[in-house]
Amino acid sequence: DAPTIIDEENLEKGIPFSDYEERPEVQKWLKYFRGRGIGQISKFLNRGKRYENLIKTLLAKHELPKFFFYLAMIESGFNLNAHSRASAVGIWQFIAPTAKRYGLRINRYVDERKDPIRATVAAANYLQDLNNVFDSWPLAMAAYNAGESRIMNAIMRHGTRDYWELGAKRAIPRETRGYVPKFIAALLIAEDPGKYGVDLEKQLKPWPAVVSAYVPSPVRL
């Protein structure tokens, strides 16, 4: 088959996150990451360097903007073994029903939510589906965090499809009200730390490309 040609530049258009920089919700997180949160964002970015090339390549392949790489940072800090109080697992913090809906295996032998390749493919497909439903990346991310039904109910109840307006009306959970601004702040700083006066610690060199390997039987590691 002929290789798929991805228009990467076009993928990044239509999501004016820099336009949201002056919003007080985003400024709050910019202040945090430039202050007492600098150690946290540096740690996460260093850990994420191992997976950056892999995740961004998979996102582009599935026609998703590469900067959603930083959504994984907000979700898990790029910790493959991360567990949440809501029983979400892995780098993309899937709960079991959503993971299984997107083809990830969870059984006594394997939990593919911890697989950076398969979980990233599942997350890309899920985010695309959410954006198709809400026609808004901020709402798609909010639904990724809080669940589709909760965001849809908020839209129907308050008569607006504007993420920021829903947040101002406290129509969505507190965590979700901070989720998108936190992502935007992390994205802005990570992409241009000098602009924000952030001196990130020396980052690890990118790892070589990671690929799946088939083995004939279970292997004890």
Catalytic residues: 75
Between CA 22 and CA 2 the distance in angstroms is 44
Between CA 141 and CA 128 the distance in angstroms is 10
Distances (CA, A) of 96 to 68, 139, 140: 22, 22, 19
User: Are 135 and 162 a contacting pair, CB within 8 Å?
Assistant: no
Rounded to 5 degrees, what are φ and ψ at 171?
-80, -15
Rounded to 5 degrees, what are φ and ψ at 140?
-60, -45
What residues form DSSP beta bridges with 83?
Answer: 89
CB burial of 5-39 (b: ≥16 within 10 Å; e: otherwise) equals eeeeeebeeebebeebeeeebbeebbebbbeebbe
- SS3 for 7-42 is CHHHHCCCCCHHHHCCCHHHHHHHHHHHCCCHHHHH
